[in-house]
Amino acid sequence: MNRDGRVVFVTVGSTRFDALVACVLSKDIVQRLIANGFEKMVVQTGNSVQPIGGELKEDWDGTSRGDLFGLTVECWAFKPNLREEYERAALVIGHAGEDAFINRNQDFLSYVMYLACVWG
């Protein structure tokens, strides 16, 4: 799969990390992503609360989709394999779990740990 420089992938693995999910879906972070050229954010929520409501509508398959402050957003809990998501994203934001680093080590592209989400 080809990398799309306009996609950010957020992953929490199999954990529950509501704070990270809420942070990346906040107006401030979404606006900063848009200002840096991102057009789409894919959020793997794991066992976190699935964001539904407002502009995010739940589809038949349990995926939340919508336009959030001008950014296309897709949220889902789990997929059998995340490799495709890692390969497509220009930026990965995560909780710094082991799997994220193992799947992301093919090159020097950006990986941002949760603390960077509070960038000020």
Residue ranges of domains in the chain, CATH in brackets: 4-118 (3.40.50.2000)
Residue 13 has pLDDT above 70, yes or no: yes
* Predicted local distance difference test score (pLDDT) of residue 80: 81
Name beta bridge partners: 15: none
- Residue 5 CA to residue 73 CA, distance in Å, equals 15
- Span 56-69, pLDDT tens digits: 888 878 888 999 99
H-helix or E-strand containing 65?
A: strand 64-68
Task: Of 54, 57, 51, give the one whose Cα is nearest residue 69.
Answer: 54
Give the ranges where the chain is alpha helix by DSSP (H): 18-24, 27-35, 83-88, 98-104
Residue 49 has pLDDT above 70, yes or no: yes
The pTM of this model reads 0.79
